[in-house]
Amino acid sequence: MPNNDSQTSASKNEDNKDKTTDKPLITDIIVLCAGTVDPSNSDNIGRASSYQGKIDSNWYWKDNVEFRNGLSDFKNKYVNCHIFEDHAWSGDNSVHNRKVAGAYLADRLCGVTGKNSYNDNPIAYYQRFLKKEKYPEVNFHLIGHSHGGNVINEFTKRIAKSPGWPDHWKIKSITYLSTPFFKKLHKPDTSKFHPDCKIINVFNNYDLTQRAIADFSLKQLPGQFKIAAGDKFIELICEIIGHWEVMVPLFIGELNLNDEEGRILYDECIDLLDVVTELITEAKKIIGDLSVEHEYTVATALKGKVTHKRSIISTGLKDRFDQFFLELQRDFVELNIQNLRDTINENNGYSRLGFLRDFNYRDATAVIVKWFKISPVTLESKFFDMVYEAIKEQLDEYDNTRNTPDELYKGVPIIPVDVTEHDDYYQQRDEQFNEFIKLLEEKEDNYESNKTKRNLLDILFTLLAQIPVVRTKGCSYLRIVASVVNGVVKLDEDDVKGSWHHPGDDWKLDFWDHEERANAISLVELCRNYCRILASRNGGFCCDIDDDADECAQRADKSGIEIIPPPALNAQNDPNKDCLARFGTKNAKKKVNRGSLHYLMNNSHNLSRRKWYEEYETKLKSQIGCLLKSEDK
C-alpha cells in the first residue's frame, strides 16, 4: 500500500544506534518507479501519474497485489527499511518525459528546487536522513518496471550533477523489471553508486515490448485518441467482417442465384456498405479530433514545467485522409447502394454476374486501386504512405533495444534473473517464436541502419503478418476477390499464376472496355501483392497456443496461395462474436490468447511485476545493509 514513509519514525530505536556495537544503523530505501502504461502512448486512464499521494483506482501498481504484498513483507523483515511509492510521472513513451521524470524524482527526494529543477517542494522527502552524523549511510535500492528503469537511469544522471544530493546517499542496487535497454538513449551515471552496488536484471525471453516494440519512443497521444478509436470503431469493423462472411459463400458458385440466395447477397452487401458509411464517418471524426490541439495529463507537480499540448495529425495529413474518405464514400459506397436497391425493386431475378454489374465495378475498382495499389518491393501505396506519415509524426525517437544492460555498465556486477519459465507461454512454441523474433529484429536492424519509409513499413507489415485474422481471413478473402475477377476478365495465363480458382466460362464479361480490364488486372495484382507481402513476412509465428490446431496448420502455409474456405452460413451464430472477442469491447470481453502479439506485448512484458519472485528477492536481500528485526533486540 502506498504510504507517506517520510513521516514515520525510522525505527523503535530513536537514536538510530546498533545496540550491540553502538554504531549508527544503516538505512535502506526502496524506490518504486512506474513504467510506460502502454507502448502506443494512448491510454488516458491507467497513468503512472494517477497516484498523487493516495490510493486511487488507476494507480500503476494497483493490480500487482502479489508483488506489493511480497515487497511489503520483505520490507517488514528489517528495522530501518523504507519504501518510496510516491513517484508520479506521466508514464509517456517519450524520451523527454523519461528525462523529466528521472530529474524530478531526484530533486523531490533531496528537496532541490530552483530555476533548473522540476520540484517545487524545498523540504526533502526524507528530510531526517540528510543528517549525516545520525544517518551516515543511506542506501537506495531502485526498482523500475519497463521504462521506469530508464527513468532510473535518468535519475542517476541527475544526482551525479546535483549539488543538493547528499554524499552519504548512495545507490546500492538497481532492479530492472523488463526494462528495454537502449543503445544510445538513457545511459546511466555510476558516480553516486555504492562501491558494492549490483544490478539485478529481471527479464522474460517472450517479452516482445522489451525486445522490439520499445524501440519506438512516441510523442504523447492525448486521451482523445483512445476515446475516439474505442468500442464503436471496433464494433463497426467487426460488423463489416460479419456481413462479408455471410456474403462470401453466396458469392462463389454457379452463375445464377435463386431468389432467396440473391436477396440475401444483395441485402448483406447493402448492409455492409451502410456500415462502411458509418465507419467512414467515425474515421473522419477521429482524424478531425486528432488534428486539433489537445492537452494531456501530467503529474500535478510538473504542470507548467513540461509540454503537454499538441495535435496528433497535421493539417496537411488530415486533408489527405479527408480526400480518401470522400472518394471512398462517393465511388465505392453511394452509387453501389442505389444500384443494388434498384435491382431488388425491379424483382427480375438475380445472378452473380448481375451482382458485379450492379456493383458499379468501374468506379469501385478504380478508387480501391488508386488508394491501395502497392508495390511488394518498395511497399509504396497512397494509403500506406499516409499511414507512414502518421507514424512519423508520432515518432519521437528510434533506438534499438536489448533485454540486457551489459553495454551500459562496465565494472558494475550484473545479476541476470530469468523469469521466462513463469510465463504461461513457456516452451509452447519456442521454435516458431524464435523464428519470428529473429525476423522482426532483422527488420528493426535494417531500419536502424537506414531509416527509410520502406524499412519502417516493412516492420509494420511484419507485425501485421503475425495477426491470424489479417493473414488468414484477410488474405483468403483477397484471393477470393482475385479469383472471381480472374474468371470474369479472363486474364492471360501469364497474369494468373498459382492455384487461383476460376468461377467458370459463364462468368466472362464480354462488354468490358479497355479501362475496366486494366482496372481488373490491377485489382488482381493488388490482392496478390498484399498476400505476398504478408506471406513473405510470416516468421513462422503463425498462431497462438489457444487456437484450433487444424486452423493453425492452415495458417502455417507460406505460399500465399491456398485459400482457406470461409465459414458456412449459419443463422444460429453471430458473425461478430469471434471478432468482438478478439478485439474486446464493453459488450464483449477481450480474449487474449497465449502467444498472440497482444499477449507478448502486454502479458509477457508485465510478468516481472505480477509477483514478488523469490529469484530476485534473494538477490536484493544480499544488498540490504540494515538490521533484520530479529537482530534488533
pLDDT in tens, 136-153: 999 999 999 999 999 999
Residue 377 or 356, more confident:
377
Provide the β-strand partners of residue 284.
none
Residue ranges with strand state E in 355-474 = 395-398, 401-402, 414-418
Given this model, what pLDDT does residue 35 score? 85
Cα separation, 630 vs 610, whole angstroms: 29
Mean pLDDT, residues 67-95 taken together:
86
Given this model, what pLDDT does residue 291 score? 86
Given this model, what pLDDT does residue 579 score? 55
Mean pLDDT, residues 52-73 taken together:
77
Q: Is 351 helix (H, G, I), strand (E, B) or coil?
A: strand
Q: What confidence tier does 550 reach under pLDDT thresholds 50, 70, 90? A: very low
Q: What is the pLDDT of residues 218-262, one digit of tens each?
A: 665 544 444 444 567 778 888 888 888 888 777 666 667 788 888
Mean pLDDT, residues 405-427 taken together:
93
Cα separation, 203 vs 416, whole angstroms: 8
Residue 568 or 208, more confident:
208
Closest CA to 448 of 459, 437, 438, 439: 459
Residue with cell 562496465: 410
C-alpha cell at 65: 497485489
Cα separation, 349 vs 337, whole angstroms: 18
pLDDT tops 50 at residue 551: no
For the chain, give every domain's residue range. Answer: 5-10+24-207+606-626, 223-402+429-544+548-592
Helices (H), 181-222: 208-211
CA distances from 251 to 185, 259, 350, 530 (A): 54, 14, 12, 21
Given this model, what pLDDT does residue 39 score? 44
Q: What is the pLDDT of residues 306-338, one digit of tens each?
A: 556 667 789 999 999 999 999 999 988 988 898
Q: What confidence tier does 285 reach under pLDDT thresholds 50, 70, 90? A: confident
21 CB neighbour count, 10 Å cutoff? 8
pLDDT tops 50 at residue 426: yes
Cα separation, 535 vs 520, whole angstroms: 23
Mean pLDDT, residues 263-279 taken together:
92
pLDDT tops 50 at residue 193: yes
Mean pLDDT, residues 145-169 taken together:
94
Mean pLDDT, residues 418-447 taken together:
90
Least confident of 23-37, 110-124, 390-404: 110-124
C-alpha cell at 119: 520540484
Kindly compute the dihedral angle of the four CA atoms of residues 14, 16, 21, 26, in this order, to the nearest 10 degrees: 150
Mean pLDDT, residues 379-408 taken together:
90
Mean pLDDT, residues 618-626 taken together:
93
Cα separation, 595 vs 603, whole angstroms: 9
Mean pLDDT, residues 359-386 taken together:
91
C-alpha cell at 32: 518504486
499 CB neighbour count, 10 Å cutoff? 11
Residue 339 in contact with residue 360, Cβ under 8 Å? Answer: yes
CATH 3.40.50 correct for 5-10+24-207+606-626 = yes
Cβ burial, residue 258 (10 Å; 0-12/13-18/19+):
exposed
392 CB neighbour count, 10 Å cutoff? 12
Mean pLDDT, residues 536-565 taken together:
47
For residue 309, the 8-state DSSP code is E
Residue 333 in contact with residue 255, Cβ under 8 Å? Answer: no
Apex 317 CA angle, 314 and 319, nearest 5? 110
